[in-house]
Amino acid sequence: MLDFGIAGKTAVVCASSKGLGYGCADALAAVGANLVMNARTPETLAAAAARIRDAHGVEVKEVPADITTPEGRAAVLEAAGHVDILVNNAGGPPPGDFRDWTRETWITALDANMLAAFELIKAVVDPMIDNRFGRIVNITSGSVKSPIAQLGLSNGARAALTGFCAGLARQVAQHNVTVNGLLPGQFNTDRIESLINATAEREGRSSAEVRDTFEQRNPAKRLGEIKEFGFACAWMCSAHSGYLTGQNILIDGGSFNSTM
Ligand code: NAP
């Protein structure tokens, strides 16, 4: 059996009671990593942590907190102690028209989708360097490569994080600390469900019709599953992935049309 080489390591997976974060937590636990899981709602977080504990027998600490706040991040870091693997994630910003956005709108989006990750990276990267092992994965979005007009806040904030991490990755690679991005296309999660429902309402169509349109326009003719996303995360975090850094891997069923 393939050994990912991270059994017993500590992985912090932010925003992981559901969706893509949960997929990453589950996959990391499946290859033996102990977890610190986080989300704001204690009940769903506790249920998610229990499922992973039962399935994989690893140690799972759960920290109900808002990861976009300094207090939330401090609680997560304290629960973890030393962090070997950091998966940054948070809820995505709302869609909208840029004419309505103020400086405060942007600060909220940057706090969630750039600065929370930056602060966590700043806290864990030097101990990772000292330990000669670290894996940092940012869950961003396909919008980093191919902008989605109504998600301008996401386009901007996530591109800023990606740019910062591109430079950071080259600074820390020599210490066996890697920094990469995972860019989801459309995955079957609560977030996509709300997008489907909002689109249906806006266009006067049924949610089932909109879902079908989303599926049919993808070369794979379906949305992604969180297990598929989690597997890529585990691969990026493997002990054997030390030469994979500064990359942004799009997982979208081939939706982004390009030769490379
Ligand atoms: P999801 O299914 O709605 O799950 C979001 C998870 O994050 C939940 O566990 C939620 O729990 C937690 N969370 C949200 N805000 C948080 C906060 N401030 N602090 C701590 N935990 C928080 O969403 P998803 O689809 O997995 O999306 C994850 C990220 O990927 C989002 O940023 C999204 O925009 C991005 N993305 C998703 C897709 C897709 O197709 N699904 C595509 C592109 C980008 P609580 O609500 O209890 O906190």
pLDDT, tens only, 91-125: 999 999 999 999 999 999 999 999 999 999 999 99
Mutating to test ligand 1, I would choose from 24, 89, 218 the residue with most ligand atoms within 8 A of its C-beta, which is 89
pLDDT above 90 (res 162): yes
Expressed as residue numbers, the domain containing 77 is 10-187+226-251
For the Cβ of 141 lying below 6 angstroms from any atom of ligand 1, the answer is: yes
C-alpha 134 to ligand 1 mean position (Å): 24
C-alpha 130 to ligand 1 mean position (Å): 31
C-alpha 65 to ligand 1 mean position (Å): 14
Predicted pLDDT at 119: 98
Mean pLDDT is lowest, of 156-160, 183-187, 195-199, for: 195-199
C-alpha 16 to ligand 1 mean position (Å): 8
In a domain, 237, yes or no: yes
β-partners of residue 13 are 37, 87
Q: Are residues 96 and 127 in the same domain?
A: yes
Q: Are residues 173 and 198 in the same domain?
A: no
Q: Which residue's CA is the nearest one to ligand 1's atom 24?
A: 19
Q: Are residues 99 and 195 in the same domain?
A: no
- How far the first Cα of the chain sits from its last, in Å, is 31
Predicted pLDDT at 226: 98
pLDDT class for 57, splitting at 50, 70, 90?
A: very high
β-partners of residue 182 are 139, 249
In a domain, 230, yes or no: yes
C-alpha 87 to ligand 1 mean position (Å): 13
Q: Are residues 113 and 152 in the same domain?
A: yes
Q: Are residues 43 and 135 in the same domain?
A: yes
Q: What is the pLDDT of residues 64-79, one digit of tens each?
A: 999 999 999 999 999 9
Cα Rg, the chain, nearest whole Å: 18
Q: Are residues 144 and 216 in the same domain?
A: no
For the Cβ of 60 lying below 6 angstroms from any atom of ligand 1, the answer is: no
Which residues are CB-neighbours of 8 under 8 A, at least 6 positions away? 32, 33, 34
Mutating to test ligand 1, I would choose from 13, 18, 226 the residue with most ligand atoms within 8 A of its C-beta, which is 18
Into how many domains does the chain fold?
2
pLDDT above 90 (res 163): yes
Q: What is the pTM of this model?
A: 0.98
pLDDT class for 49, splitting at 50, 70, 90?
A: very high
Q: In the sheet that 248-251 helps form, which strands lie side by side, from edge to edge?
A: 60-64, 34-39, 10-13, 85-88, 134-139, 177-184, 248-251
- Whether 20 and 187 have beta carbons less than 8 Å apart is answered as yes
Atom of ligand 1 nearest to the CA of 224: 40
pLDDT above 90 (res 1): no
Q: What is the pLDDT of residues 203-252, one digit of tens each?
A: 999 999 999 999 999 999 999 999 999 999 999 999 999 999 999 999 99
